[in-house]
């Protein structure tokens, strides 16, 4: 008879989420051979394969796909029970996994860590940096509890809290003639050589819909997957970037931000919450903390 409470099933989930035994072993700080041995034992006890080996790692078999959500549900229930028992004295305790956008790391990571340490010293933060698409995928997999996500236009879902709304700007070299302008029409932006994030990205989808509506075509010269990279290419005259326009002190000497109008392009930073992990007292307290402190920290500080 299978013992679904066997700790080896947590290894099964880790390997499934990581997509390889090697990656799971690294994340768990275990020897790869130990993880492989436990998975082999689980498959022996199950009487069938849980994973199919590929050139890049492993994927779940049909049986593994059937088992995975049921195992996850049991693990969530066990975690919730353990949290209820630990927090019986009304003290948050345990792990909270938070995903941050690259643009938020410098301004939010430090204050968030300090505030959590001061208020709840028994809460352990696990911070992850990634693009909005990457963080959303981790939320869907239950590998993050909370994450800052980008939403182009007003597309936040009811369970997402809008932390701040930002207008988008064209980022141009400081010596470019466009730097003297305060605004620029989108139709003119579409004619310029642009540095854009690679797909999938919310901005790419927003721009694609807009140019279709207007019968335009974008000129993309480079894909760069961080705001810092996009700004650097713009600074050397390699193309124009479209970002929220927040420039560091060093960037403001080399770059200028020109607000895009007709139409005004806006985006929101929202707080996404996973539906695939048990919410503990610790995750609820960190969620409330983020809702309270993030709007002020993330508010626009555009220099034009």
pLDDT in tens, 29-62: 788 888 899 899 888 888 899 999 888 888 999 9
Query: Looking at the predicted structure, is the pLDDT value of residue 102 above 70?
Result: yes
Alpha-carbon distance 51 to 301, whole Å? 49
92-165+268-298: which CATH architecture? 3-Layer(aba) Sandwich (3.40)
* pLDDT at 6 exceeding the cut of 90: no
Superfamily of segment(s) 169-264: Periplasmic binding protein-like II (3.40.190.10)
pLDDT, residue 124, reads 92
The string of DSSP codes covering 124-191 is EEEEEE--HHHHHHHHHTTS-SEEEEEEESS---TT-EEEEEEE-EEEEETTSGGGG-SEEEHHHHTT
Q: Specify whether domain 8-86 bears CATH 1.10.10.10.
A: yes
Common-topology check for domains 8-86 and 169-264:
no
The whole-number pLDDT of residue 260 equals 95
**Does 301 have pLDDT greater than 70?**
no
pLDDT-derived band of residue 302, with 50, 70 and 90 as boundaries? very low
Confidence of residue 81 (pLDDT cuts 50, 70, 90): low
Q: What is the pLDDT of residue 112?
A: 96
pLDDT of residue 82: 61
Q: To the nearest whole number, what is the mean pLDDT of the chain?
A: 86
pLDDT exceeds 80 at position 254: yes
Beta strands in the chain, from DSSP E residues, in sequence order: 51-53, 58-60, 94-100, 123-129, 146-152, 161-167, 169-173, 183-185, 193-196, 219-223, 240-243, 255-261, 266-273
Q: Residue 184 CB: number of other CB atoms within 10 A?
A: 19
pLDDT at 304: 33
Q: Please report, for the chain, the start and end positions of each structural domain, with discontinuous segments joined by +.
A: 8-86, 92-165+268-298, 169-264
């Amino acid at each position: 008879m299978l013992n679904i409470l066997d700790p080896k099933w947590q290894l099964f989930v880790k390997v499934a989420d990581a997509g390889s035994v090697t990656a799971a072993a690294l994340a768990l700080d275990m020897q790869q051979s130990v993880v492989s041995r436990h998975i082999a034992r689980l498959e022996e006890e199950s009487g069938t394969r849980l994973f199919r080996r590929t050139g890049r790692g492993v994927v779940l078999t049909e049986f593994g796909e059937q088992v995975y959500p049921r195992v996850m549900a049991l693990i969530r229930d066990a975690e919730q029970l353990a949290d209820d028992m630990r927090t019986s004295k009304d003290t948050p305790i345990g792990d909270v996994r938070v995903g941050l956008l690259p643009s938020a790391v410098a301004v939010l990571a430090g204050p968030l860590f300090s505030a959590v340490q001061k208020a709840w010293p028994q809460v352990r933060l696990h911070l992850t940096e990634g693009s909005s698409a990457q963080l959303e995928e981790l939320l869907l997999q239950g590998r993050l509890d909370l994450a800052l996500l980008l939403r182009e236009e007003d597309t936040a879902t009811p369970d997402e809290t809008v932390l701040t709304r930002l207008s988008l700007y064209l980022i141009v070299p400081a010596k470019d003639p466009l730097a003297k302008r305060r605004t620029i029409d989108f139709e003119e932006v579409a004619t310029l050589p642009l540095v854009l994030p690679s797909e999938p990205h919310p901005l790419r989808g927003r721009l694609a819909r807009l140019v279709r509506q207007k019968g335009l075509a974008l000129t993309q010269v480079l894909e760069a997957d961080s705001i810092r990279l996009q700004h650097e290419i713009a600074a050397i005259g390699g193309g124009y970037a479209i970002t929220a326009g927040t420039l560091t002190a060093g960037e403001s000497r080399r770059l200028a931000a020109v607000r895009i109008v007709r139409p005004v392009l806006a985006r929101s930073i929202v707080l996404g919450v996973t539906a695939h992990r048990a919410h503990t007292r610790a995750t609820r307290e960190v969620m409330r903390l983020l809702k309270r402190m993030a709007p002020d920290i993330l508010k626009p500080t555009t220099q034009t």
